[in-house]
Structure 1
Amino acid sequence: MYKTRGITSVLAGALMATSAMAETELTVYTAVEAEDLARYAATFNESNPDIKINWVRDSTGIITAKLLAERDNPQADVVWGLAATSLLLLKSEGMLEAYAPEGVGELDQKFVDKDTPPAWVGMDAWVASVCYNTVEAEKAGLTPPKSWQDLTDPQYAGHVIMPNPNSSGTGFLDVSSWLQIFGEEGGWAYMDALHGNIARYTHSGSKPCKLAAAGEIPIGISFAFRGAKSKAAGAPLEIIVPTEGVGWDMEATAIVAGTANLEAAQKLVDFTVTKGASEMYNTGYAVVAYPGVAKPVEHFPEGLLEAMIDNDFEFAANNRAAILKEWQSRYDGKSDPK
């Protein structure tokens, strides 16, 4: 009896050890909306049940800063869902493991890093827009803006919220796009004027639109899909596409150089470029990397895709630190506490 228990214990221990060895854990840094993470992991695990994802989630600026701070001692294996402008910066620092995932040739090549093999691969794109609460605006006696310049009109003083670009990818694409649309001098002059009307700067790109949808502010500078989602849920929103054009960025994926779990990381990146993955992204984004997948989005504003500027990602990435430093020195006094 004693011997049987001993053998059973040994076998059980061996089985547990084998099971533990069979499962690989990946630390994945992301700026994807928190509500989507469980779905992303579950869909990936349908075909890769032996790989467990441990998420580290925060806003784009925070994740980018964290990765840069860990440059000499990387803690992440994969970045899944971070702005392409951030990944271009990490690439320039030699922090990404170049890899051509299986099936990458099927993607719209605008979503793929130009190097061979690519250092990063895009997933989806999000596009700036203005969320305008028609009920609260009427109470305040406001008229709808048609352009970015309109938002500097004194009638909007204290009625506008936008994201802080140091913490929000949406905020950074706004600022970098205004510098491209209006030129460097004109861009900062525009932001000086806009700052006078800003009630506060949030640390989330979706929050200005959520606050506008909830009636806490008439105008939130955010991104279009968030507005469409809130409008579909019954919020009295008009989603405005400014006439000068709108900034945009794409979420992208990359392997962190030096990962000890390279094979599992490659399996994850292989999955991120599949048609099934783009179908999953399409539930949260109207523009995805795999051609022919995107379905029409209810309440998505007309003309938005045509209004997307010819975004200079290299400019945005190469000048990121200087842009953020200048923005902070001028406007950070109205930012929410961190």
Structure 2
Amino acid sequence: MKRLMLVLFLIFALTVSFAELIIYSSVDEANARKILNAFSRETGITVKYIFLSSGPALARLEAEKKNPQADVWFGAPMPNHIIAKERGLTEAYKTTSIYGIAPNFYDIEGYYHAFYMNPLGIGINLKVLEQIKADMPKSWQDLLKPEYRNMIQYPSPQTSGTAYAFITGLIEIYGEDGMIDYLKKLAKNVQSYTQSGTGPSKSVGVGQAGLGIQFTPAFFQFKEQGYPIEVVFPVEGVPYEAACVSIVKGAKHKYEAKVLVDWLLSKKGQQTIVDTKTFFYPVRPDVDFGTLQPLSTIKLISVDENWAAQNKKRIVDRWIKEVLPVK
């Protein structure tokens, strides 16, 4: 009997030791590895991750609904996790790690939790600005100045969620018609509309464009690497993306998935996001932000994500029809 108990214990121990947390990651590969490798070192939980952008990840979760292959969806902006919840692809977990985090960063029922956020900002190449003898912009209105003609890049909302976040943020500031009017005026200063949401930072980094509009991590990374880049958050306010984590409904390694959620939202996990140089903003206010500009100095604009999702096609169609042809 004792021998049988020992065998059963060893089988259990081996099962626990080799349990693998399977993650579908919509965070870029380099930064996902930084965060998840730190989690594995901290907890001893082995992690296997598959990299999928938001759309393919959601489609795969849908296809695997009856036989889930992943335990956690890691990353992708909040609207995607709202859809996953509505489609019954994820399940609730109310972690105590949310205490101290603003309620706009998690689902009150526990289906998804933001673990980092990125404010939209203007990246500026200081050498280009010096060459064209222009002042540092402080506001969205400043970007309409004639000295910035053919100097600005921002993504196209036809292909980029970043661009749509920019547009919906402007709607909060100016109203829908005011947004169209603003972007038509800005078009005179736009060099190009990039296909990728991070396209502007690449052009600004090498001086091909003087100014770029996008979420800020890539700008901060270029600055850290010694490029003459400065980041400005316009005084009227900026929208932001909040990347979330959700536990997949029917997850085979639910305990490990909950440990990941707890750790990501803990002070330790949040500090790791800063210390590993992801250049993501933590959602907890009680960590050291390092070289990042404190959130308390940035005016953030909240967008009604449900309204934004329901009206996306109509808004993007207006941009194509009314803004894109303007030069």
Distance, in Å, in 1 between the alignment partners of 2:171 and 2:88 is 27
Native 8 Å contact 2:114 2:245 kept in 1: yes
Give the whole-Å Cα distance in 1 for the aligned partners of 2:70 and 2:317: 26
Name the CA shift for 1:240/1:113 in 2 (closer, same or farther; >3 Å): same
| Deviation (angstroms), 1:258 | 4.3
Range moving further from structure 2, 48-57 or 243-252: 48-57
Q: Which amino acid aligns with 2:184?
A: D
- C-alpha distance 191-280 of structure 1, shift in aligned 2 (>3 A): same
Identity of aligned residues (%): 24
- Residues 1:24 and 2:15 are matched in the alignment: no
Report the alpha carbon displacement of residue 149 of structure 1 after superposing the two structures with TM.
Answer: 2.8
Q: Return the match for 2:85 from 76, 91, 107.
A: 91
Q: Return the offset for 1:251.
A: 1.7
* Matching residue within 229, 235, 242 for 1:243: 235
TM-superposed CA distance for 1:178, in Å, is: 0.7
Give, as a single letter, the amino acid of the residue that structure 2 aligns with 1:227: F
Alpha-carbon offset, residue 244 of structure 1: 1.9
Match of 2:121 in 1: 129
Match of 2:287 among 290, 293, 304: 293
Task: Assess if the C-alpha contact under 8 Å between 1:246 and 1:308 holds in 2.
Answer: yes
1:280–1:47 Cα change, 3 Å: closer
Does residue 173 of structure 2 align to residue 181 of structure 1?
yes
Give the alignment of 1:1-338 within 5 angstroms. Answer: 22-30=18-26, 32-58=27-53, 63-64=54-55, 66-68=57-59, 71-74=62-65, 76-115=70-109, 118-165=110-157, 167-283=159-275, 284-285=278-279, 287-297=281-291, 300=293, 305-324=297-316, 326-327=318-319
Cα deviation for residue 273 of structure 1 reads 1.9
Normalising by structure 2, we get a TM-score of 0.79
1:183 Cα deviation from its structure 2 partner = 0.5
Deviation at 1:177, TM superposition (A): 0.3
Gaps of 5+ in 1: 1-13
Cα distance change of structure 1 residues 67 and 159 upon mapping to structure 2, 3 Å threshold: same
Question: RMSD value over aligned CA atoms?
Answer: 3.4
* Contact 1:279 1:293 (8 Å CA) reproduced: yes
Give the Cα–Cα distance (whole angstroms) in 1 for the partners of residues 25 and 320 of structure 2: 25
Cα distance in 1 between the residues matched to 2:153 and 2:222:
16
Give the gaps of 5 or more residues in structure 2.
1-9
CA shift, 1:134, in A, is 2.1
Is the alpha carbon distance of 1:246 and 1:104 closer, same or farther for their aligned partners in structure 2, counting shifts above 3 Å?
closer
The 3-state SS of whatever aligns with 1:107 is: coil
CA distance in 1 between partners of 2:118 and 2:230 (Å): 18
Structure 1 letter corresponding to 2:58: L
Is the Cα–Cα contact under 8 Å of residues 159 and 198 in structure 1 kept in the other structure?
Answer: yes
Following superposition, the deviation at residue 186 of structure 1 comes to 1.2
Q: C-alpha separation between the residues in 1 aligned to 2:112 and 2:166?
A: 22
The answer (yes or no) to whether the contact 1:85–1:314 under 8 Å persists in 2 is yes
The 2-side partners of 1:56 and 1:174 are apart by 25
Residue 94 of structure 2 aligns to a residue whose secondary structure is: coil
Matches of 1:234 and 1:130 in 2, distance apart? 18
Report the Cα distance in structure 2 between the residues aligned to 1:35 and 1:246, rounded to whole angstroms: 26
Contact 2:151 2:191 in 1 (8 A): yes
Alignment length (residue pairs): 310
SS of the residue aligned with 1:288? coil
Superimposed CA distance per residue, residues 161-182 of structure 1 (whole angstroms, 9 cap, x where no aligned partner): 1123455443232111011111
- Secondary structure of the residue aligned to 1:290 is coil
Deviations 1:149-199 (A, max 9, x none): 332344433211112345544323211101111111111222233334322
Distance 1:209 1:291, change over 3 A: same
- Hey, what's the Cα distance between the residues in 2 that align with 1:136 and 1:91? 46
CA distance in 2 between counterparts of 1:279 and 1:24 reads: 24
Any conservation in 1 of the 2:267–2:286 contact (CA below 8 Å)?
no
TM-score where L is the length of structure 1: 0.77
The answer (yes or no) to whether the contact 1:89–1:318 under 8 Å persists in 2 is no
Post-superposition offset of 1:121 = 0.8
